[in-house]
Chains A and B, each alone.
Chain A
Amino acid sequence: MEQQEILDKVKGILEPYVKNKAAFAQLKVETSILEDLQVNSARLVDIILAFEDEFDIQIDDESADQVGTIGDAVDLIRKKLGEG
Chain B
Amino acid sequence: MQSTSSAKSLGKAEALPALERLGLRLQRGAGLLCFPLLGSAAVGLMRFAMGYRIPNLKHLRRRARALVGKERKPLIICANHLTLIDSAVIEWALASTWTYTFKFWRLPWSLPEKRNYAHNPFLSALCYLFKCVPVVRGGPATQTQRTLGKLSYLLNRGEALFIFPEGTRSADGRVNTQEFGYGVGRLLTQVAGAQVLCVYQRGQGQEGASSLPRRGSVFYTDMALIQPTSQSTGLRAARDLSAQIVEQLHRMEQKYFATPHRQ
* Across-interface contacts of B182 in A (CB, < 8 A): 42, 45
* Across-interface contacts of B180 in A (CB, < 8 A): 42
Main secondary structure of the interface of B (DSSP, over half): helix
> B223 → chain A, closest Cβ, in Å?
25
Q: Interface segment, B34-42, B89-97, B138-146, B198-206? A: B138-146
Q: Given A40-B179, A61-B186: A45 and B141 within 8 A (CB)?
A: no
> B25 → chain A, closest Cβ, in Å?
27
- Given the complex of chains A and B, what is the CA–CA distance between A73 and B239 in angstroms? 20
With an 8 A cutoff between CB atoms, is B238 at the interface?
yes
- Given the complex of chains A and B, what is the CA–CA distance between A60 and B6 in angstroms? 12
With an 8 A cutoff between CB atoms, is B149 at the interface?
no
- Given the complex of chains A and B, what is the CA–CA distance between A60 and B180 in angstroms? 21
* Across-interface contacts of B239 in A (CB, < 8 A): 45-46, 49
With an 8 A cutoff between CB atoms, is B236 at the interface?
yes
With an 8 A cutoff between CB atoms, is B72 at the interface?
no
Binary per-residue interface labels of chain A (64-76) against chain B in the complex, 1 for a CB within 8 Å, 0 otherwise: 1110100000000
* Residue positions of A touching B, CB distance < 8 A: 34-35, 40-43, 45-46, 48-49, 52, 58-61, 64-66, 68
